Structure 1
Amino acid sequence: MKRTLIIGLIFLLIGSGSFAQLNLPEDESLSREAQSMYALFSDNFRADNLNAARKPLEWLLENTPGIHESIYINGIKLYQELADKKKPAEAYEDSVLIVYDLRMEHFNNEKDLIDRKASASYKYLKDRPNKEKELFEVFEKTYKLNGTDVGVNNLAAYMDVIRRYNAISPLSDDEVLTRYYKIMDAIDAKSESVNEETLEKIRSVTTKILLQIVPVNCDFIREKLAPRIATDQNMMKRVFKLAVSEGCTSEPFFFDVAKEYIKVDPNPLIYRILADHDWNEGKKQAAMEYYNKAIEASTDASKKADLYFHIAVKQTQAGNKIEAKNYAEKALATDGNYKKAYKLIGDLYYNSFNDCKKESSKVADRSVYWAAYDMYEKAGDTDAMKNAAQQFPTIEDIFNESLDEGKNYQVACWINRSTIIRRNPN
């Protein structure tokens, strides 16, 4: 009686269209059993009765593998949950990968599924012995089919898979680097969908793993990679980024590469590197052209302020006090909280005593320290303020020149700014 009711329910469901989408076998008896197993699997899966759902799922996978794609979608979820909950987990982990393979076999969606299988394979197989080749092959396939569309989880993971495979079956340097470039291209392709901080971490991890496999250093980049730019322009970006990561930014070959690379990627950092190089080479005019391009290319206010301040420091080192002050003030105009710029201007004033003194007035000569004190105060540098105060004129000097403490005073020389008359605290 009970069996009759179940069969009757199945036929009722068929009549209502609930099984209309199932790809049932022609054999009537097998078809009925398939519908019964499908219903049993679906009901138990929805009720989270995972162990009870396994038997009908395995029957369906073996006897009617093309019945409906949902048995694979839910079957993967079922085995993933069992793998997370049950120990030992290897049998369930293997079942996840098997169901991925069966789904790809019976439904035409290998491109997307191989990428998901790669993620699962890395999770389940990376620490298992003798699985290096299997892992390597699934990642090779997902990169072949997906290119730069591979999932974020399969970026640095692929480099780690290469490292593990290389340990048992050595690859040539070229083979390793070719795959590294694929990963870096895929990372760059995600710049619009993934935040840059995350991508930079992935780049860093990927490059760190590369360096565990291939002895990349400045000599290697100069001798083996840079010459390839002549025949492969894609190498320009790769050589540039590897050179930066390996600290080769003072190598002559690097600047030749950077000057070409900047044409396709007008990055403020690259302009600054080129500017610093020319500045250190004594090519001040060329350097300033690069600095100005860096400022034009920068859209972030704090980074632009950094650039202005960097130029101010360079001009200070060159003894160009007026130019240094101007650029420090531009940093402040860009970012009003850029207190380092106040400190730098204060130092410029403080160190102008010998440049500005005329030895006809102690107050006038020492007024530069009042101006310096003002800047140090804005910078919040109490130690510098104390040092400047030690250089103030004495109250006798102020009195002798018929001046009044606390009154306004115009500092002359190149400083040319108003300040307040103050006595030496000693």
Structure 2
Amino acid sequence: MRTKLFILFAVFFGLFSTSAQNTADCAEKLSIFAELAKTKNYGEETYQHLQYLRKNCPTTGSAIYFYGERVINFRIDNAKSPADKEKEVRDFLLLQEEYLKHFPDKAKSIDVKKAMALFENNSGNPEEVYQLLDKAFKNDRAEFKNAKALYVYFEIFVNDFEANKKGIQLQDVFNKYDLISDKIDEEQKEVSEALDILIQKEEAGTELNDKEKRAKENNQINLDAFETIRTSMDAKIAQLATCERLIPFLGGSFEEKKGDAEWLKRAADRLDKKGCSSDPLFSKISDALHALNPTAESAYNLGVSFYTKKNTAKALEYFNQAADLQKDNTKKANVYYTIARNIYGSSNKVQAKTYLEKALAAKPSFGEAYVFLAQLYANSANDCGNDPFEKRAIYWLAASTARKAGTANGNAAAASYDKLAPTKTEIFNSGRAGQTISFKCWVGRSVTVPNL
């Protein structure tokens, strides 16, 4: 009996020692692999470490898969033939599946990553890409945050409709557009709110730390990306949803759907975006929606309806009502911007400025509002200032305002205004470097002449 117990203990101890040794070896291998990857050494040595870890130590750490993506992407980018690239792309997909298997709590957006690896490397086929994106959108919508992937998802669906595949109808395209557009709204709101907090902190005079500066820059990039995707989606659907096609299509469903608030909202929004709001159907739908369920959206649609009829007083009444009812700050800001741009515009700069400031109070990251306000300032060069130097000094105010937009459009506008402002030679000759110039016209702002 003692002999048997001794043998059993020896076997157990041996297994334990082997397991401990394997764990130590795996940890060492992962440490070496991670250090190589951190220095962007994605060559053959690093790849062999990755393959060893995948085979022998798959659960040692999620860093295997985090850095593994970079290594395999490097191999995809440097593949010597289409066949080699295809092999590496498929290995990338396999790596994602392994990640999900061993670290299900950490693996995010796996199907989106797989789909975009296929799409961006011309691998697989559109149907394979679509099925992965469709699965991700339906099963993991919260983590579907890739703007480009959202567009690819929509584009493939529209292409199938145009090719008469899968029995897809025009209404199906609209439904898909609405679903993806809602997702873009959600992502833009989340990013915009985070950006607004940072902008408000800066405007309060608190300097952002390095982490916050990176967050601000990334949020601005993401906002631009989602706006670009929305514009691309609108352009795609614009070819399908002309007023000539939309009006009879929606008009034919009105009687059946006039009690469906969601359908009425979507229909009114679609007609408005396509520039069909002058058609009587838009008024008909807007009236039905407001009577059924008075909301910020229904009030806004009635504002649009009256605006197209050139009844600006009623339009303003409903637009203000829409802004008052609106709980979403981004949408509230858009209503105020619509009033500034369409009701007042350049003909009443004072009121336009008032509503632009309301828009920016609701959404400090509203780039378009800054750009339009800058344009109003620039257009007043001949109306403000006591002499030619002061009149052109307003371009400094226009440039700084446009630059606050933080967008490519805003930066381009700022650059053009800078060119119209007084030159260094003119500043020197004026003797006004460092002085403050106040604009006592409608602008009510001031600028400091740059020091030389």
TM normalised by structure 2 equals 0.53
In the alignment, the residues of structure 1 paired with residue 185 and residue 316 of structure 2 have an alpha-carbon distance, to the nearest angstrom, of 26
- Compared CA separation, residues 168 and 69, structure 1 to 2 (3 A): farther
- Where 1:155 maps in the other structure, the secondary structure is helix
Task: Kindly state the Cα deviation for residue 254 of structure 1 after the two structures are TM-superposed.
Answer: 1.4
In the alignment, the residues of structure 1 paired with residue 50 and residue 179 of structure 2 have an alpha-carbon distance, to the nearest angstrom, of 38
In the alignment, the residues of structure 1 paired with residue 108 and residue 240 of structure 2 have an alpha-carbon distance, to the nearest angstrom, of 29
Give 1:156's match in structure 2, choosing from 131, 145, 151: 151
Task: Kindly state the Cα deviation for residue 46 of structure 1 after the two structures are TM-superposed.
Answer: 3.4
> Contact 2:278–2:305 (CA<8 Å) still a contact in 1?
no
Give 1:91's match in structure 2, choosing from 87, 93, 113: 87
In the alignment, the residues of structure 2 paired with residue 72 and residue 269 of structure 1 have an alpha-carbon distance, to the nearest angstrom, of 49
> Contact 1:118–1:142 (CA<8 Å) still a contact in 2?
yes
> Contact 1:218–1:246 (CA<8 Å) still a contact in 2?
no
Counterpart residue identity of residue 134, structure 1: E
- The residue number in structure 2 matching 1:188 is 185
In the alignment, the residues of structure 1 paired with residue 226 and residue 289 of structure 2 have an alpha-carbon distance, to the nearest angstrom, of 20
Offset from partner CA, 1:348-395 (integer Å, 9 cap, x none) = xxxxxxxxxxxxxxxxxxxxxxxxxxxxx969xxxxxxxxxxxxxxxx
Task: Kindly state the Cα deviation for residue 49 of structure 1 after the two structures are TM-superposed.
Answer: 2.9
- The residue number in structure 1 matching 2:34 is 42
- The residue number in structure 2 matching 1:176 is 173
| 2:323 matches 1:292 | no
Task: Kindly state the Cα deviation for residue 186 of structure 1 after the two structures are TM-superposed.
Answer: 0.5
In the alignment, the residues of structure 2 paired with residue 122 and residue 334 of structure 1 have an alpha-carbon distance, to the nearest angstrom, of 47
Offset from partner CA, 1:263-311 (integer Å, 9 cap, x none) = 33358864542213555xxxx6xx633333335648688754555548x
> Contact 2:115–2:129 (CA<8 Å) still a contact in 1?
yes
- The residue number in structure 2 matching 1:237 is 265
Task: Kindly state the Cα deviation for residue 139 of structure 1 after the two structures are TM-superposed.
Answer: 0.8
- Where 1:79 maps in the other structure, the secondary structure is helix
Offset from partner CA, 1:318-371 (integer Å, 9 cap, x none) = xxxxxxxxxx6xx2542589xxxxxxxxxxxxxxxxxxxxxxxxxxxxxxxxxx
- Compared CA separation, residues 185 and 149, structure 1 to 2 (3 A): farther
Counterpart residue identity of residue 56, structure 2: N
- Where 2:190 maps in the other structure, the secondary structure is coil
In the alignment, the residues of structure 2 paired with residue 291 and residue 306 of structure 1 have an alpha-carbon distance, to the nearest angstrom, of 12
- Compared CA separation, residues 29 and 77, structure 1 to 2 (3 A): same
- Compared CA separation, residues 110 and 214, structure 1 to 2 (3 A): farther
- The residue number in structure 2 matching 1:134 is 128
| 2:68 matches 1:75 | yes
Offset from partner CA, 1:61-101 (integer Å, 9 cap, x none) = 12332222111111112222333344444433333222112
Counterpart residue identity of residue 291, structure 1: L
| 2:354 matches 1:334 | no
Counterpart residue identity of residue 67, structure 1: T
In the alignment, the residues of structure 2 paired with residue 220 and residue 111 of structure 1 have an alpha-carbon distance, to the nearest angstrom, of 43
| 2:50 matches 1:57 | yes
> Contact 2:76–2:89 (CA<8 Å) still a contact in 1?
yes
Task: Kindly state the Cα deviation for residue 151 of structure 1 after the two structures are TM-superposed.
Answer: 0.7
- The residue number in structure 2 matching 1:108 is 104
- Compared CA separation, residues 160 and 302, structure 1 to 2 (3 A): closer
Structure of higher RCO (CA pairs closer than 8 Å, 6+ residues apart) = 2
- The residue number in structure 2 matching 1:217 is 246
| Range 261-270 or range 234-243, more displaced | 261-270
- Where 1:95 maps in the other structure, the secondary structure is helix
- Compared CA separation, residues 332 and 213, structure 1 to 2 (3 A): closer
In the alignment, the residues of structure 2 paired with residue 77 and residue 25 of structure 1 have an alpha-carbon distance, to the nearest angstrom, of 34
| Range 132-141 or range 260-269, more displaced | 260-269
Task: Kindly state the Cα deviation for residue 183 of structure 1 after the two structures are TM-superposed.
Answer: 0.0
Identity of aligned residues (%): 15
- Where 2:58 maps in the other structure, the secondary structure is coil
> Contact 2:181–2:230 (CA<8 Å) still a contact in 1?
yes
In the alignment, the residues of structure 2 paired with residue 199 and residue 277 of structure 1 have an alpha-carbon distance, to the nearest angstrom, of 29
Counterpart residue identity of residue 136, structure 2: T
1:357-368 equivalences in 2 (<5 Å): none
In the alignment, the residues of structure 2 paired with residue 307 and residue 230 of structure 1 have an alpha-carbon distance, to the nearest angstrom, of 29
TM normalised by structure 1 equals 0.55
| Range 263-272 or range 247-256, more displaced | 263-272
Counterpart residue identity of residue 231, structure 2: S
- The residue number in structure 1 matching 2:141 is 147
Over aligned residue pairs, what C-alpha RMSD do you find? 4.2
| Structure 2 unaligned spans of 5+ | 1-15, 193-222, 324-331, 355-381, 385-452
- The residue number in structure 2 matching 1:204 is 231
- Largest Rg, 1 or 2: 1
- Where 1:170 maps in the other structure, the secondary structure is coil
Counterpart residue identity of residue 128, structure 1: N
Aligned residue pair count: 292
Give 2:305's match in structure 1, choosing from 274, 288, 306: 274
- Where 1:189 maps in the other structure, the secondary structure is helix
